[in-house]
Structure 1
């Protein structure tokens, strides 16, 4: 049974008093978004117990223990509190800072098969090296399109293999504005590693409205241990099936990798978004929520 508001204090009470407003604001962007003060606490305890049971070498400051410690320091990307903080910031302050004519705004997904890692081997994925490749592509674009901007997030999903194993698939989601689709495809294909065997390393979807933009950002910041199943279509080709969440050792391995990195390490920004990202690390959660609740998070330029 959850505590009443009178049994709470500080930031926890602030959030509890606005719980329905926060949830409503998030759901106005996408119906799958939700928020629960006590639900996030419970999720955090489950993550901590799973990591401790697996004897993961966890830094003492990797996970916040309660809401009232969130602004004292930054925890890891595995922290349920930090994940919510990032999502609220992205759908409020970050989204409001973005401007576009929607003539060349794209949701770009970049995945290089050379970055895949099998179960038990995820620690070998070097996010700094991965981001260097992304930055190379963005730097190339800036030479031809100096006014473009981009913002995105590195994500690690997984796909099942034989037996109980999974194949972890690091990839990047980006919103890119001001670059034609042909140039985007060509530049990102140019930074594929030599050992890549990707058939569709670059996927593009046009983003046509402010509401679409907010929904794309919502997708970027879901930060869940996704298990993507593939099924055989009528033409015999593999297609995406329904996604589930990782469980067992694979989920713990995903959490352990996330616990070794901060949310800011997963973020990528060029142009104005880079300035907004720099401020994110130091923004208090109450200020982030205030921006989210001001309204218009899905009605930007």
Structure 2
């Protein structure tokens, strides 16, 4: 799609002048990351058109119409501009606020099969109730381990079914510091629903360096309509295969659910990160980018 050549102004001009720096900064954290001022505009227009074509009932202010409206109000988690804003903030300000000895820092993935929703039923997934379960797992840990902090994001991916539908899979990713792996795993297994059939509902990966921590945060904040295929492994079990993006009605359903929530609603935190997250909603984009680029320079050095 060709961009109409009108003079750039405001935050769009600011971003365009720093586009290469921002892209290089993101790629220094994770090689697959990228950034394009006009590319995000094109993504946003495609999302608006898809929602409108499907006659989805969504709030008129759920998606920004251009870069220069980003600081006027907070749009929804379906908004491509808001998604970029969140990722830039996470990799700059949030990441710089986190400290760890890296002896007990883990990337935790919690995925309960009982939370799955078949295509057409994603709207019945209750985000607030889901987050209460996550807090139920974290609260006893906070009482037992005074140095704990945790920060993460609720994500919705999908898996294809044999009858050409999809199963939406709500799950969460968390960075948790200050808790031994055995206690962490037990806490999250305790909040599995009775009808859960997950083989590995709680997955832990140690995070050993600041660079690893930044890469994990980059993964948390990718916020894409991901379709994860499954393949049969050598032991006969289903394992994750290649990931693609949702298309058609399933993508629209994902967008519609995201359009009903703000990015801040998807965030989970306890300990010091909670204070940083409280300020996120009120942070303008330009200082967020300034902090991201500053962090990138420090990362390079």
TM-score range, shorter chain: over 0.9
Q: Would you say the 8 A contact 1:210–1:299 is kept in 2?
A: no
Native 8 Å contact 1:94 1:276 kept in 2: yes
Correspondence for 1:16 = 16
Q: 1:121 to 1:212 in 2, by over 3 A?
A: same
| Residue matched to 2:212 | 212
Q: Report how far residue 164 of structure 1 moved.
A: 2.1
Q: Name the SS for the 1:294 alignment partner.
A: helix
Q: Quickly say closer, same or farther: Cα 1:63–1:221, change in 2 above 3 A.
A: same
Paired positions, count: 299
Contact 2:96 2:295 survives alignment (8 Å):
no
Q: Which residue of 1 aligns with 2:69?
A: 69
Which range moves more in the overlay, 114-123 or 188-197? 188-197
**Deviation for aligned residue 1:163:** 2.3
Q: Find the counterpart in structure 1 of residue 199 from structure 2.
A: 199
CA contact (8 A) 1:111 1:171 kept: yes
CA deviations over 1:225-272 (Å, ceiling 9, x no partner): 100101011221111110011000000000000000000000001001
Gaps of 5+ in 1: none
Runs of 5+ consecutive residues of structure 2 not aligned to the other structure: none
Deviation, structure 1 residue 295? 2.9
Per-residue CA deviations over 1:67-86 (Å, capped at 9, x if unaligned) read: 00000000000000000000
State the superposition RMSD in angstroms.
Answer: 1.4
Q: What is the CA–CA distance in structure 2 between the aligned matches of 1:297 and 1:145, rounded to whole Å? A: 34
1:42 aligns with 2:42: yes
Asked whether 1:243 is paired with 2:247, we answer no
What aligned pairs does 1:124-139 form with structure 2 within 5 A after superposition? 124-139=124-139
- In structure 1, C-alpha distance between the alignment counterparts of 2:10 and 2:172, rounded to whole Å: 36
Runs of 4 or more above 6 Å deviation: none
1:230 equivalent in structure 2: 230
Task: Return the alpha-carbon distance in structure 1 between the equivalents of residues 237 and 57 of structure 2.
Answer: 41
Residue of structure 1 equivalent to 2:85: 85
